[in-house]
């Protein structure tokens, strides 16, 4: 769905327009687009569990935020489900970061193509990004894109099963899928 908003030409215009607005929107390729609202309980719990796991595993100096905080991408503004940035990367009243270290999306039927398609391209084009993580809702299964030693992103690793862990080398931590998916799958 594209929203008619002729006065919005830049990412900054969009952020000012979107602040406090009802509904959920992103700004991609110069267009304001509607986002899914009313996700499942499973989606909400996964987002909360992932954010909590990251918050507890990361040392001081990192900031973990949920879906109300934006990421500036080469094509506009996105609102990932969870992101991690250096604490010093942006002020407390900032509406978006351009220095995410990790971006995570939780799959839904309506977001599958976007999360595995254009978002991969947008997020992995960010110089600061170390990891892009996509989580399945219905089972302990994640896809992890990580920046390699050569500076480029490798093909994603698919990690599945409650007994598995996700190593986030760029953040120096490992997360247990059993913790993230506890009582969810």
Helix (H) or strand (E) holding 113: helix 112-116
Q: pLDDT tens across 25-83, in order? A: 777 877 777 765 557 889 999 999 999 999 999 999 999 998 888 999 999 989 899 99
Contact of 69 with 37, CB cutoff 8 Å: no
**Among the listed ranges 14-23, 63-72, 97-106, which one has the minimum average pLDDT value?**
14-23
Residue 32 counted as domain residue = no
For 45-71, give the DSSP string: HHHHHHHHHHHHHS-TTEEEEETTSEE
What's the number of domains the chain is made of? 1
Structural domain for 159, as ranges: 38-180
Residue 135 counted as domain residue = yes
Q: pTM (2 decimals)?
A: 0.86
In what order do the strands lie in the sheet containing 76-78? 2-3, 31-34, 25-28, 76-78, 70-73, 96-97
Looking at residue 153, which CATH number applies to its domain? 3.90.1570.10
Residue 31 counted as domain residue = no
Q: pLDDT tens across 137-166, in order? A: 999 999 999 999 999 998 999 999 999 999
């Amino acid at each position: 769905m594209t929203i008619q908003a002729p006065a919005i030409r830049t990412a900054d215009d969009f952020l000012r327009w979107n602040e406090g607005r009802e509904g959920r929107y992103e700004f991609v390729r110069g267009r304001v687009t509607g986002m899914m609202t009313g996700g499942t309980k499973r989606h909400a719990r996964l987002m909360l569990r992932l954010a909590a796991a990251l918050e507890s595993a990361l040392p001081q100096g990192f900031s973990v935020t949920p879906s109300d905080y934006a990421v500036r991408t080469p094509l506009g503004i996105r609102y990932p489900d969870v992101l991690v940035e250096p604490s010093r990367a942006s002020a407390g009243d900032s509406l978006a970061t351009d220095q995410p270290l990790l971006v995570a999306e939780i799959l839904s039927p309506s977001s599958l193509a976007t999360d595995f398609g254009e978002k991969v391209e947008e997020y992995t084009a960010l110089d600061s990004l170390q990891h892009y993580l996509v989580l399945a809702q219905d089972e302990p299964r994640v896809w992890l894109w990580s920046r390699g030693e050569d500076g480029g992103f490798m093909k994603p690793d698919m990690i599945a099963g409650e007994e598995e862990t996700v190593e986030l080398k760029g953040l120096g931590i490992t997360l247990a899928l059993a913790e993230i998916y506890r009582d969810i799958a």
